[in-house]
Chain A
Amino acid sequence: MNENNAQAAAETTDTPIIEVNSMHKWYGDFHVLSDINLQVKEKERIVICGPSGSGKSTLIRCINRLEEHQRGQIIVNGTELTNDIKNIEKVRAEVGMVFQHFNLFPHLTIVENLTLGPIWVRKTPKKEAEEMAMAYLEKVHIAEQAEKFPGQLSGGQQQRVAIARSLCMKPKVMLFDEPTSALDPEMIKEVLDVMIDLAEEGMTMLVVTHEMGFAKSVADRVMFMDEGQVVEENNPNDFFDNPQHERTKLFLSQIL
């Protein structure tokens, strides 16, 4: 798997699709993210891990402006993220997000959940949107649930629907905020499988997770964050076999 990654990485362009330069963020007085520098190339898969409170979720939520950064730059697909509404909307149309608690819309059917974005944001005609939605539902192996409501599905099924929902907007980047943390153990695999499929097809992904198996098999880079800073960053083999910093070693010893 990793040889494929290296080859694919060599084929992509050099312009990063996400650029984060010297980004700082405060919650009131609390300095939650400190001097973050990150470059994500197209088709790259990055796993971000770290103890809770390290700011990893905050980081990816800054990338689609669910949180605002106070200092530094975030540039997504050539558009700089500022207070400019138009830029924000442009970025959000290119970036898909999968939440820890799925956040499906309970009053809409599965299909309606998926077609909402395309119909209202991309102004896609209904029929086309529905065909696309069914195609993506097939992709995440859940097409038979199309007319059901989220409340009737299990956690793993809901998360797969959530992934399909983001995919319907045809994003260039997918952000995953602890996608399997709220799932029962037996459902984690089905969601990870979908994510692996996505990765193999070449989607650029930033994944905050504790699933180290996933990191080892799919990631191009693993980042360790602690107390708002990026402590260490490396390819998976070197990261897990040869951690450089004390904090990384401590974290790895606790979760592996």
Chain B
Amino acid sequence: MKKVPNNTTDDVLAPSPVPFLRDPAKRAIVFQVVALLLVAFVSYYLYSNTQANLERQSIATGFGFLDKEASFEIGESVIEYSAADSYADALLVGALNTLKVSFIGVLFTIILGTVIGVARLSSNWLVAKLAGGYIEVMQNIPVLLQLFFWYAIFYESFPSPRQALNPFNGVFLCNRGLIFGVPESHAAHGAMLWAFVAALAIGWFLNRWGKQRQAQTGQIFPSIRVTLALSIILPLLVWAFAGAPTAMDIPELRGFNFRGGVTVSPEFSALLLGLVFYTAAFVAEIVRAGIQSVGHGQVEAAKAVGLRSGQVLHLVILPQALRVIIPPLTSQMLNLTKNSSLAIAIGYADFVAVTNTTINQTGQAIEGVALIMLIYLFFSLSTSLFMNWYNKKMALVER
């Protein structure tokens, strides 16, 4: 024990040295070094085994195969593709297919899930019970089973093209899918799309201006209605201006199949329907929990102040409910994207399915599986980043 001398100097004030192994900081370092060495050793072991096995089976390594010719067809594709294109192109087609089913799936799921979630809270006993039953049943049956079920419906219940169901003019339903007519491709369509985007942009600016005016004069500007009207009127104007083209590309039965129009394949439909119905059940619960999280007292206070129902929803309920809804909702959307990988089981050419074929043909399993994991990791991590940003932005300020 040291006695403190009268004129203190700095070195007396510093803590006395500690034996190496009894210092928590040093122990932590030793522990970590050991752990890292262990991981490194195991990795090296796996790596050297893999090298040996690959050589033995004369499997190539590296991503050179991406430039080679794919020599397999893909059932459906968003872009032009043929068997003569490279593996890289084939993988791109698969990725685009995954994105296609994911985007459309997310859109429909949010709509359906919200409707069912709200219905679950309805004061109508029948509606509430039906919604509740839907949620219970769909959540407790594996999604793969649901996919098989929808696929079986398409293949077993729908007739062949020659006897296709024809509910409306130009719309056909058969075991090749849903086929319907679309307006024939025309230059005006691009312009109409731009007009739509322009309408949204104008609407956004109008909204900002309207808010400023409200702050100063108190007058409320109906931004939503105006934007809605603009987004319909402007493209229509463009269409009229371009000569009002009405030519349609109608499917016709030639031989054993339809030509023309747009075909939505049974694989895509089954995947979409299965994913949407399954995930919507989970989204419905999330929406219900979000709405219920807003205390009833809030609604009463808002109404007591004189706000109308629409305003109560917009100003009091939604901001609070969304805060609770959005985080689990994003993880469900991510789940939907991950579940789309089950496409391989029903023959839809998503990224996993295409990569699987690639692996079978080139034998390069490591690169293939790595690619699959990388692409889904990319989706997940970008979603996580978005979630973190969103949570920080929306966090309630607390003491």
Direct contact, A vs B (beta carbon within 8 Å): yes
> Chain A interface: which of B18-26, B125-133, B163-171, B332-340?
B18-26
Bits for B6-21, please: 1 = Cβ < 8 Å to A, else 0.
0010000111101100
Q: Is the interface of B mostly helix, strand, loop or mixed?
A: loop
Which single member of B8, B19, B23, B24 contacts A22 (CB below 8 Å)?
B8
Asked if residues B1 and A83 are in contact (CB atoms below 8 Å), the reply is: no
User: Which of A22, A78, A82, A85 is in CB contact (< 8 Å) with B15?
Assistant: A82
Residue of A nearest to B18 (CB): A84
Which chain B residues have a beta carbon within 8 Å of chain A's beta carbons?
1-2, 4, 8, 13-16, 18-19, 22-25, 27
Report how far A21 CA is from B3 CA in the complex, Å: 10
Q: Which residues of B contact A80 (CB under 8 A)?
A: 1, 15-16
**How many angstroms from the CA of A21 to the CA of B24 in the assembled complex?**
23
Q: Is A75 an interface residue (CB 8 A)?
A: yes
Given the contacts A22-B8, A22-B13, A72-B13, A82 and B18 also touching, CB distance less than 8 Å: yes
Chain A min CB distance to B106 (Å): 42
Q: Does A86 contact B (CB under 8 A)?
A: yes
Given contacts A22-B4, A72-B13, A75-B1, 4 further A-B contacts (CB under 8 A): A71-B13, A83-B23, A83-B24, A85-B24
CA–CA, A73 and B5, complex, Å:
13
A253 to B23, CA, bound (A): 46
A87–B18 Cα gap in the complex (Å)? 10
Residue in B2, B8, B22, B25 with the greatest tally of chain A CB atoms within 10 Å: B22
| A/B interface sample: 21 pairs, CB < 8 A | A21-B4, A22-B4, A24-B13, A71-B13, A72-B13, A73-B4, A73-B13, A73-B15, A80-B1, A80-B16, A82-B15, A82-B16, A82-B18, A83-B15, A83-B25, A84-B18, A84-B22, A84-B23, A85-B22, A85-B23, A87-B22
Q: How far is the CB of B17 from chain A (nearest CB, A)?
A: 8
Complex Cα–Cα for A184 and B14 (A): 43
**How near does chain A come to B82, taking the closest CB pair, in angstroms?**
63
B13: A residues at CB distance < 8 A: 22, 24, 71-73
**A85 to B20 CA separation, bound complex (whole angstroms):** 10
Instruction: Give the one of B13, B15, B16, B23 with max A CB within 10 A.
Output: B15
Q: Are A86 and B4 in contact (CB under 8 A)?
A: no
Shortest CB-to-CB span from B26 to chain A, Å, is 9
Give A27 Cβ to nearest chain B Cβ, in Å: 18
